[in-house]
Structure 1
Amino acid sequence: MSAPFSVEIQRAHFIDGEYVAGDATFDIFCPVDQAPLGAMATGDEEHVDAAVSAATRAFPAWAALGAEGRLPYLKRFAEEIGKRADALAIAEANDAGVLLARMQHGIVPRAMLNITWFAEAALTLRDRVIQTPQATHHIRHDPAGVCAIITPWNSPLMLTTWKAGPALASGNTIVIKPPEWAPLSCALLAEAAAAAGLPPGVFNMVHGPGATTGAALVADPRLARISFTGSAATARLIAGVAAHNLVPCSLELGGKSPFIVLADADLDQAAATGALMYRNASQVCLAGTRFLVHADIRDAFVEKMRSVVDKLVIGDPRDPATEVGPIIHPRQFERVKSYVERAIVGGATVLWGGEAHPFGPLYFQPTMLTDVANDAEIVQEEVFGPVLVLQTFGDDAEAIALANSTRYGLGGVCFGETVHATSVAEQVRTGFIWVNSFGIRDLAAPFGGRGQSGIGREGGDWSFDFFCDVKDVMVPAKPFVPSFAHR
């Protein structure tokens, strides 16, 4: 199905308002059938330097526009994203294997909203006044400067705009490093930014591998902020470099989130929601991958969820009927497969799935494993593939203890009678948790994790607090008398 879904995309870097080619390139492939999708320019230290230099030059004028002056640019940017909705959807379905229907109906509209919502919310960042008997405090959110944005391959369009929206709306300029396995939708974002008339240097993009291009970007001492979504291992490298330059980082990392099913849960609703954990082949950081089910309802729940999973349509993500697509890359496929193989050797029981799916070389069956010790690798480590584990508990205390027993703390799900489920959810150590639901998001709410799931929060004022330098301008309530005794 590759040919009808081809999209014309610039394969060069976008620096200072112009496309810049490079001598070196890297190839990308479609995970559906591993068909070649062409080559992208590979950025070196000179490209990174040029992008950061352009962003540095553009920053004063962009910041001086104020939120009102930036609003028309960002609204046009969102409109240009909308004009490319079909191309963006096809591009990400092609290189990341994300469902085309989900791109069209969910992710592209969300990408547009990521830009417009923050552009409008920035209008509220005028002076916030704190009045005390001693002084009037005018609290300002001043733009920080040049921001590096580094996004992962599982949802590049949504996550790039999720960071670019508040960064640009705050008055910063940005340099984006898209994921090398799935760069196409981000490349189209550069086209949208140019068509929207964003001033040269405000929006820059350099393609290439994280180990070289990304490393050169985060090492640049001119950066004011680094926003990264990806693995904890990469985050440690970024944080180490950023610490040397004293650059603040926002790190949204992986998860091993609990999916708790209490004895008083609606099992049909819980089972249907549980099957959603296989969306995007479970290459979703916030998916609930550890099922913690009350022992009394374990068999009934397994039967109901198995019934739903058996009906899932596995296939080409560009087919509207498909519900589960491929794993993105051979390296990731082998990683997922090896986790399952080791778990089975270690004594895990396969409730369903457990091996490759015949649709294509990068397809793995939706899998559920059980009879696993809580300290087992498959329970404690993020697989990032369609592999879930099921454990049982006897009471709320045990459920909470199991939920809190990994080093991660990103998301969670809890099904049960609402008051009961809410009480349990409040005791789970995580950045967010859904009660009797999944996937509800609001741009005004905070998003982020605890422990090895990250540092910082994104969304609403939390995004502005990160992308801005918060300053207090103090005006005394009465004439100030200098004194060495004054504190």
Structure 2
Amino acid sequence: MPDHITVAGVTVDTRHWIGGQRLASPGTFTDLSPIDGSVLGEISRGTPAEATAAVAAAKAAFPSWAATPRAERARILHAIADGVEKRIEELSIVETSDNGALLRSHRRGVMPRVAHNFRFFADWLLKLEHEDFETRGHTNHVSWDPAGPSVLITPWNAPLMLATWKVAPALAAGNTVVLKPAEWSPLTASLLADIAAQAGLPAGVLNVVQGYGAEIGDALTSHPDVRRISFTGSVPTARRIAASAAPNLTPLSLELGGKSPLLVFADADLDLAVDLAVEQYDNAGQVCLAATRILVEESIAEEFTRRFVEKATALKQGDPRDEATDIGPNIHPRQLEKIDGFVQRAVEAGARVVIGGHRKEGQYYAPTLLTDVAQDSEIVQEEVFGPVLTLQTFATEEEAVHLANGTRFGLAATLATGDRERAERVSDQLVAGTVWVNCFFVRDLQAPFGGSRLSGVGREGGTWSFDFYCDLKNTVTAPNGWNNHG
């Protein structure tokens, strides 16, 4: 098999990146484009041997990288950001080909955010400090020590952006990294390895191992030399990772599923509320934060639904490389089958299809809205991860909060209201890691990010990321007892 493939004119190495070298596995897996189902290439299919070699490379590189001064680590991270910015067009077209997200979004938002991830954590590293404090004349000094090799397992819906959301703080903290990208969208992780090497990141500090989690996951997450594991994905996979990491008590950061609500009160700006609701179809509904449960006050439900249908049916679905496209394909035939299964079972259980409810040609699913759904139904309780929304109504603020909090998840919530006091009151009662009021998807890297309940464990962002990727140390020094007086 060839060591490289060409995707839209961009050359991508199909081998792993371990210890500063490209290494192939005996077997491969096929990477398909969701745009048209075409084969992009055969990718090295990692085995426990490659996974173990990557951890060994990360362990060997750790002492030197951990001892690298903060300013030098920051300089290299900025150099990686420079490399990303020089290749935004290449990264964008490769990722669109690989995961089907809109090319215009990659160009204008996603890939610039990739570069920003590196710049932000490089800069945050340089100002990371805790003010010394006194205890009975003794001085307390808090420091963040690099923890060690870190395994980062990332999803397919925003492959490079979500990978670097983990890679950047881990490297800034002084850790070495083994990155395992999702097998449905592995290509930009390989390009990142090239960019990092060209930026001067030492060999072994970043390693990339491709393959199936079921085949190499345990070799990574159960390894005694791994000191941190960060995972974004499903709850069942998180449970397996946690069980694998438990014997070594390896600290975990888990960003998992969501079933987030959008609460629309009668006093809201209705046009804004409709815009927020339609925005939940972004990335073909493959967004963990998406507010897929629309909760609307009864008195405005009919008008809200009318306006929603008008706006949603005007969305253009098609080739994500077309600038005019609003919704692209879903990632994989298996995911499309899962989405349709949720919808058909909901209809069989009594749900009414307002729009959509069916597959389209290829790997495209029509934007769907379902009503007449019970709170305890599967379609309301389980994450679909596709362009499928439900609409329920409420009569009182108390009922709205009850419905909003009525799942096992707690990743995010969105609230549309014209009453500031109500916004504060309801936000305080919502179980969610992030609450947006009259807006959606406004993200700042210095804010804590994560989920409650089954939506995750821990928080990342700003200092919270360094708290996870480091071992915090408090040094307490007595005021006397010195032999010298310098």
Same fold (TM over 0.5): yes
Task: Give the deviation of 1:423 after TM superposition.
Answer: 2.1
- Residue among 47, 50, 61 paired with 2:50: 47
Matches within 5 A, 1:45-444: 45-126=48-129, 128-357=131-360, 360-419=361-420, 420-444=422-446
Structure 1 CA distance for aligned equivalents of residues 15 and 186 of structure 2: 11
Q: Which runs of structure 1 show a deviation greater than 4 angstroms over 4 or more consecutive aligned residues?
A: none
Query: Contact 2:77–2:172 (CA<8 Å) still a contact in 1?
Result: yes
| 3-state secondary structure, aligned to 2:454 | helix
Task: Give the deviation of 1:62 after TM superposition.
Answer: 0.8
Task: Give the deviation of 1:66 after TM superposition.
Answer: 2.2
| 3-state secondary structure, aligned to 1:255 | coil
Deviations 1:204-252 (CA, angstroms, capped at 9, x unpaired): 0000001112222112110010000000000000011111111000000
Structure 1 CA distance for aligned equivalents of residues 228 and 190 of structure 2: 22
Which residue is equivalent to 1:454? 456
Structure 2 CA distance for aligned equivalents of residues 14 and 39 of structure 1: 16
Q: Which residue identity is paired with 2:453?
A: G
Structure 1 CA distance for aligned equivalents of residues 373 and 302 of structure 2: 16
| 3-state secondary structure, aligned to 1:391 | strand
% identical equivalent positions: 49
Task: Give the deviation of 1:6 after TM superposition.
Answer: 4.2
Query: Contact 1:28–1:38 (CA<8 Å) still a contact in 2?
Result: yes
| 3-state secondary structure, aligned to 2:429 | coil
Deviations 1:267-320 (CA, angstroms, capped at 9, x unpaired): 101101211100111010000000000000000100111111011010011111
Task: Give the deviation of 1:418 after TM superposition.
Answer: 4.4
Query: Contact 1:133–1:477 (CA<8 Å) still a contact in 2?
Result: no
Query: Contact 2:263–2:416 (CA<8 Å) still a contact in 1?
Result: yes
- TM-score, normalization: structure 1? 0.96
Deviations 1:81-109 (CA, angstroms, capped at 9, x unpaired): 11221111111111111110100100101
- Residue among 473, 476, 483 paired with 1:474: 476
Query: Contact 1:231–1:253 (CA<8 Å) still a contact in 2?
Result: yes
Deviations 1:15-72 (CA, angstroms, capped at 9, x unpaired): 1111111211100101111000001101112211111111111111111112112111
Structure 1 CA distance for aligned equivalents of residues 280 and 398 of structure 2: 25
| 3-state secondary structure, aligned to 2:409 | coil
Mind listing any 5+ residue stretches in structure 2 that lack a counterpart?
Answer: 1-5
Query: Contact 1:262–1:421 (CA<8 Å) still a contact in 2?
Result: no
Task: Give the deviation of 1:337 after TM superposition.
Answer: 0.2
| 3-state secondary structure, aligned to 1:199 | coil
Mind listing any 5+ residue stretches in structure 1 that lack a counterpart?
Answer: 481-487
Query: Contact 1:144–1:467 (CA<8 Å) still a contact in 2?
Result: yes
- Residue among 5, 8, 22 paired with 1:5: 8
The alpha-carbon distance between structure 1 residues 159 and 418, as it changes in their structure 2 partners (threshold 3 A), is farther
Structure 1 CA distance for aligned equivalents of residues 396 and 93 of structure 2: 47
Q: Which residue identity is paired with 1:424?
A: V
Deviations 1:90-139 (CA, angstroms, capped at 9, x unpaired): 11111111110100100101000101110110112346412222411110
Structure 1 CA distance for aligned equivalents of residues 426 and 355 of structure 2: 28
Structure 2 CA distance for aligned equivalents of residues 181 and 304 of structure 1: 36
Query: Contact 1:325–1:363 (CA<8 Å) still a contact in 2?
Result: yes
Deviates more, 1:392-401 or 1:412-421: 412-421
Which residue is equivalent to 1:484? none
Q: Which residue identity is paired with 1:249?
A: L
Which residue is equivalent to 2:3? none
Query: Contact 1:410–1:448 (CA<8 Å) still a contact in 2?
Result: yes
Task: Give the deviation of 1:479 after TM superposition.
Answer: 5.3
Q: Which residue identity is paired with 1:336?
A: I
The alpha-carbon distance between structure 1 residues 444 and 127, as it changes in their structure 2 partners (threshold 3 A), is closer
Query: Contact 1:66–1:171 (CA<8 Å) still a contact in 2?
Result: no
Which residue is equivalent to 1:18? 21
Q: Which residue identity is paired with 2:213?
A: G
Structure 2 CA distance for aligned equivalents of residues 418 and 457 of structure 1: 30
| 3-state secondary structure, aligned to 1:140 | strand
Query: Contact 1:152–1:230 (CA<8 Å) still a contact in 2?
Result: yes
Which residue is equivalent to 2:467? 465
Task: Give the deviation of 1:425 after TM superposition.
Answer: 1.9
Deviates more, 1:88-97 or 1:286-295: 88-97
Structure 1 CA distance for aligned equivalents of residues 152 and 46 of structure 2: 15
